[in-house]
Structure 1
Amino acid sequence: MEAKMHMKEWLIAQIESGKYEGLSWEDEDKTMFRIPWKHAAKKDYKQTEDAALFKAWAVYKGKYREGRDKADPTMWKTRLRCALNKSTDFQEVPERNQLDITEPYKVYLIQHSYVPARPAESPQIKDQGIIQAKNSPRNPGFLDKQLHCQKESFYGTKEAVTPLMDDLMREHMYCELTGKKPLNQSPAPLTFISPTLAITDLRMQVMLLYHGQRVLKETTRSPDGCFILQGRVPVGNEKIYGPCTAQQISFPSPGSVCLSTCMVDAMNRLLCHLEKGVLLWVAPDGVFIKRFCQGRVYWSGPMAQHSDRPNKLEREKTFKLLDIPTFLNELQSCLQGKGPTPSYEIELCFGEEYPDPNVPKTKKLIMVQVVPLFAVELLQRFNSGEIEEKRPILISDTEGEKM
């Protein structure tokens, strides 16, 4: 069976192969690369050549089968673009893009050093391992060895694994390999937070406030996250969006709130700069955001650099707003009575600096409060006494896996 690679490893392999015209390194140190980006509407567009890389990614991910599926170059390109935008391994470098030339291209920076791919385990070997485990389910040596291998394959380093994750992985592996249920199994479908079964509750509660007044409260359900923006995502604008499946949350009209005429005018002037909005999503390792709009966006949250002065989101750059391993580690400390309840709420402020010690948030024109619901679930269980030290933490399996 062919070894599966992560997107970063796959893309590097394609660059090195030289098979795709226009796909090349941008610098000698191989930290940036060019990716051809010709629009299908151009007169000299040739699907065989100009969509080759996008098609290859669709084939590799199993989203396109030659001879069975209808060719869709637009969707191929969108899939790769969405994957690049949402990956923390890549960062677009807009100032190096050349989109108005005969052979247009984009430039991306590779964020981390290259790590060779690990070969995927074949079904036969996996089945043999399960049979062996069932024959000796309480063999601590076997579980320790399996736990060690899974931690290294998922995290790459031992330091990244918290004591809580050790307990979660061990309990999950025992239950998975023996077929036994966990100690505190409830009637609802549940999934362990572990390297093999990542967080599947990717929902967020999003609340929009105008000058301190709530104008919208919505729970996102798309595994691709949500756009928060003025209007709607422009159809066909592949440079930014394409037909992405992220949920759309539009800013309501300021006229729907009891505000002064002066305040409404100020908000309307701000909203016209938020047409491209922000993309917000939950991944197995954290909560992320990417700003596309021209209007400035500031934030506060668990990973914010400052708590007493503004934190700005740079345009076209992916930011991590909450780190799930850190959250779990802090929750473990809380369970042991060694620390406070971990924070998880995120606040966005559009057009005005935030946090601002001189102006309360209730006076800001546009604020958005974001709550990842997996964190709410965990803390509710903790507060109800359902979670005890060294017992598995569970989370509702209400959503499908991210692509």
Structure 2
Amino acid sequence: MASGRIRSTRKLKQWMVEQVNSNQYPGLVWDDQNNSMFRIPWKHAGKQDFRSEEDAAIFKAWAKFKGKLKDGEKADPATWKTRLRCALNKSPEFEEVPDRSQLDISEPYKVYRIVPLSEQGRLVCSDKNKESSNKRKRKQSDSESETDEESPVKKLKEESLVVVEPIGQVSSSDSQGTEAAVISKEQYQTSLNEIHLNLKIETMPAVSLQPTVLPSMIITIFYAGKQVDQQKVDGPDVKIAARDSNSVGSSSIHCGMQRIWLPSEDCVTDSTKKAALSRLMTFLDRGIMLASNSNGLYAQRSCQGRVFWSGPCAPYSDQPNKLERLNSPVQLFDRKKFVQDLMLYRTSGGELPQHKITLCLGEEFPESDPNADKLVKIEVEQPWARQQLEEATGFRESLCLLQELASQSPLGEVTLNLYGFNPTLEL
């Protein structure tokens, strides 16, 4: 007869409470007066403003605490984050509170609740499963105690379906087929010496009936650190300029090229900054032209006002990069180099490659404090690049899961049995 039991993970709970109380990690704070819920920073590693030393600090600390981070090892924020997330989600002493989480803000966070001891009762499995579990425990060293994280193997067995992100090369083609590995509950097998995963590869049709057409660029405009406009550009090029007396609306088509007008200085409430912005606008009437193609992003400055920029192709990362007034455009984003760096990240981890370009009008950029509120900043990105970053991050998280599975096997191996089929044949 099944009976209830309470499983304790004192190491994780004690460690987590100590970290929240330490006030060492930005964004890791209590969410209520009773100290029963806490916020944990949850910024995506692919964001342009992601700061590894700050936004991934708590995840890195957990990796060190668990002995998963060795000296000289390459930084891998996505893997660190996955490990702590898995630990929190598998522990009966923590419960995520989605209603209190905020994931769509500039500094996103998740909220977790510390579950009281009286609510941690769980039903055990059948006597047969308990006996099997005891056999595996006897195989462990006498010096080992029960770990503070549930085995990812057990987690997979409890889930009916787990989808592993595609493993394949990054491609700019919207019609390229995708592959997904599906792990089903019935296909899962375990043994004392090795972990077996039966994976089924589903190959989708190469041509979609309704292909998704992404914009060529997304342009976001900030005044004094506040977003005042965002525009999607479908054409190959666009011109951003100060509004003149004949302009209508926030964007228009001018001589075959889309034009985006800089918003009025009325968006700024500070009188000093508003006056400075008004003066700057008189030097931006000729604007800046941006172009997007299969090679990357380009810019050509026509205005008299000074323009500085930062991005993956910038000559300097710690001093201002001026965009000169030249007769030919300057490449700000190299798509080929981005793909190479992204493939390296997928296979080896480390930092995500940059994909956003930042233009700063009238002020030097970057400086000692690149996050300072500049009068006018414009961020430019190719949506295609953002999509590739999200897929790569998902892949790294799936790879981390497989590595965790391998660590549960005494041989340190995971056997993947692959079965392929074409779903169109079943229609």
Category of TM-score, reference length = shorter chain: 0.3 to 0.5
Structure possessing the higher radius of gyration over alpha carbons: 2
Greater RCO (CA < 8 Å, at least 6 residues apart): 2
The answer to which structure has the higher strand fraction is: 2
Normalised by the length of structure 2, the TM-score is: 0.42
TM-score, normalising length: structure 1: 0.44
